[in-house]
Structure 1
């Protein structure tokens, strides 16, 4: 069975899908509606109000809901859809933590190397603010809570939605594209979207969603996407913070630069050059083949003996 076909291991009634998707993903829909119908000046006031909260408390407030929503998703999958969490995670007999670690180290290494190259060339906009006590608290909060945040996003977008939409439309390309667009829209209320520009950030977020979705379909599991997403978000929290980003933390460095991202060097090159290189690295390591089948193939119901509803 391929990854999307794992949805056949449980109940798949449409009303179940609607309840689970709306209840668990409702927070992202609310954020998008908030972004669409709120005056930009009011958005700025909301972001400024959030800055008045101590950074670690603000981080906890932002991340705690993800833990409850991830637990809710698991409960609905297990008891309403009658599926195991393993079937939401991977086609393998057990979760491959080695894959999670490899993807984590790949993105962490890339982030650190490129950051310090840039820092050695021009550090004028970066302030070293490392405080051991504050950083230790931040590190503890991050390693405890970020797995829930990235876990919810991966299990919801690349897991639950990818599988159930794929089963409904009977192909793989449509859920890959749709969940990537939804992933971008889900981040539309982040302050960097207002600071940098909606379409610039959507290219980056949707491109990242496509990267994570391709990883999932080619590798037949969420492990690589989980590791990559965790490495990216942890480094974003611990390495550099700025007044205009979603994460206000006691990171090692603070950027004092005006909010801006070059469309070419900071958005298109990562999405169109760096991401494909990372996919090629993973393809070489894990011996991926049949890209067309994995990404564009049909989704057919497997023989009944290949799956059963969890009792």
Structure 2
């Protein structure tokens, strides 16, 4: 299939535009995803069930953990490699014959694989990870055991083969296939970037051996996924991301045995206090991003801009509401027919919106405090009652506070203004018509407030950065809901 586009758009083809190649019905994405991820598991299970029965003829009630513990870690690593090899093969056939897409459609906007960028990504990430490990060894030299033996060399060789396949597949699937597919639904590149990074990260929860380490893995992988996705969009190709991902998995596994789902791997370094990095892992991807886009920040700004789809001319709204007198004007109007003022919206600055939000939060905390006081009075009046146990009352308070906050923003912003926005003379309106938003838009923009508050240790940092970089000063929730905040 050849995309027919005008010459004026030839220079603006982006990585996400490749999605227009082939067939993109929703059921094709579901079928391909299921085949790639579930298919290999079923095939391997069919082979393993007879093996388990033959190996444990007496203990038919043996648990999966006990079975895994009886298998050599290197054998488990080979099984992991078999799984991802099957995944890659099934994915290739599905994308080729169900979607009609080639692998290069999912990798780059050009017809040839950029090996130079792949080596660049692998080299940079190896240096960054290596530096972090050296720092940790220097900080805790007595807790580190070095092993350069045959099992380690075997692990290293296996890691190079297995993770070259595994990491390449994951990048092509998440940052290629899935990000392009979601990109068909929106003209805002940040949305598929965020969603695919979240999906990629959640899948790593089981890499941890506890809930805490699992959550830590999710956070780290979300940040890494975002950086690799940004790199992909900025370079219009997956090669750098593939190289960095391969290097990460090879080094983390062979150097420090960093796969919690496979224990006791004969890695080169063994840390007495467990796996750690001299520099916190979540900082490392930002170092990579800084190096890759050094003096190329203009490419990063494209991620936060609304882009025209191929074969689609963006239609101007048929109507636009005057910000000053609320009169409805034709969509092509520049000045209001009623008051003569410019109808073009004045986007609210990020700092102004932040102050308005803090005012709202302060008000809501007062309301939450009142609810808490009521709950405490109930506990005080009924100290021995099973019905009013402190933990139950605490749960009810948290639920009521959450509902109150969500309802406050949804209902108030449906009419354009919260108390904070009134104080700062701001208003939420539709992105294109500048009319009051609908309930659907209000609900969506506030549901995505959870995303804007990332990272939760510094609440709202992601939303502030996105808003500051956006042409229309939109946070993630605004981009998804199609809303903007303007100054009255």
Counterpart pick for 2:17 among 1, 5, 19: 5
For residue 150 of structure 1, what is the aligned residue in structure 2?
167
Q: By how many angstroms is 1:10 displaced?
A: 0.8
Alpha-carbon distance, 1:28 to partner: 11
Cα offset, 1:57, TM superposition: 0.8
Residue 15 of structure 1 pairs with residue 27 of structure 2: yes
Aligned with 1:254: secondary structure? strand
- Offset at residue 255 of structure 1 (A): 2.3
Residue deviations 1:191-226 (CA, integer Å, cap 9, x gap)? x25264343222111111111111111111110110
Instruction: Please give the alpha-carbon distance, in whole angstroms, between the structure 2 residues aligned to 1:229 and 1:134.
Output: 24
Change (3 A) 1:189 1:245: closer
Q: Which residue of structure 2 aligns with residue 107 of structure 1? A: 125
Paired residue secondary structure (1:249): coil
Structure 1 segment 1-311 matched on structure 2, within 5 A: 1-26=13-38, 46=64, 49-131=67-149, 133-190=150-207, 192=208, 194=210, 196-241=212-257, 244=260, 246=262, 248-258=264-274, 266=280, 270-271=281-282, 273-284=283-294, 287=296, 289-298=298-307, 300-302=309-311
The structure that is helix-richer by fraction is: 1
Structure 2 residue aligned with 1:34: none
Counterpart Cα distance in 1 of 2:304 and 2:90: 29
1:31-80 CA-partner distances (Å, limit 9, x unpaired): xxxxxxxxxxxxxx755653432121111012211011111111111111
Q: Secondary structure at the match of 1:284?
A: coil
Using the TM superposition, give the Cα deviation of residue 168 of structure 1 relative to its aligned residue in structure 2, in angstroms: 2.2
Aligned-pair CA distance for 1:125: 2.4
195 and 18 in structure 1: CA distance in 2 versus 1, 3 angstrom threshold: closer
Change (3 A) 1:120 1:187: same
In structure 2, what is the Cα distance between the partners aligned to 1:105 and 1:247?
Answer: 27
Post-superposition Cα deviations, 1:241-295, rounded to whole Å, max 9, x if no partner, equal 2694646422112223157x79x962xxx43x4333321211138x452423234
Q: CA deviation at 1:99?
A: 0.4
CA change 1:138–1:243 in 2 (3 A) is closer
Preserved CA contact (<8 Å) 1:4 1:299: no
Contact 2:256 2:269 in 1 (8 A): yes
The answer to whether the Cα contact below 8 Å between 2:81 and 2:162 also exists between their aligned partners in 1 is: yes
The answer for unaligned runs of 5 or more in structure 2 is 1-12, 43-62, 313-488
How far off its partner does 1:26 sit? 3.9
Does the CA-based 8 Å contact 1:104-1:231 persist in structure 2?
yes
Q: CA RMSD in A?
A: 2.7
Work out the number of aligned pairs and report it: 280
Deviation at 1:166, TM superposition (A): 0.5
Q: Distance in 2 between matches of 1:161 and 1:60?
A: 27
Taking structure 1 as reference, are residues 295 and 95 closer, same or farther at Cα in structure 2, changes over 3 Å only? farther
Q: Retained in 1: the 8 A contact 2:167–2:242? A: yes
Cα displacement string for residues 170-203 of structure 1 (whole angstroms, at most 9, x for unaligned residues): 331111111111011111222x252643432221
TM-score of the superposed pair, with normalisation by structure 2: 0.53
Report the CA distance between 1:27 and its aligned residue.
7.7
Structure ID, larger Rg: 2
8 Å CA contact retained: 1:242, 1:248: no
Normalising to structure 1: TM-score of the pair? 0.81
| Mapped partners of 2:304, 2:87: distance in 1 | 29
Runs of 5+ unmatched residues, structure 1: 31-44, 304-311
Shift of 1:234: 0.5
CA pair 200-109 structure 1, distance change in 2 beyond 3 A: same
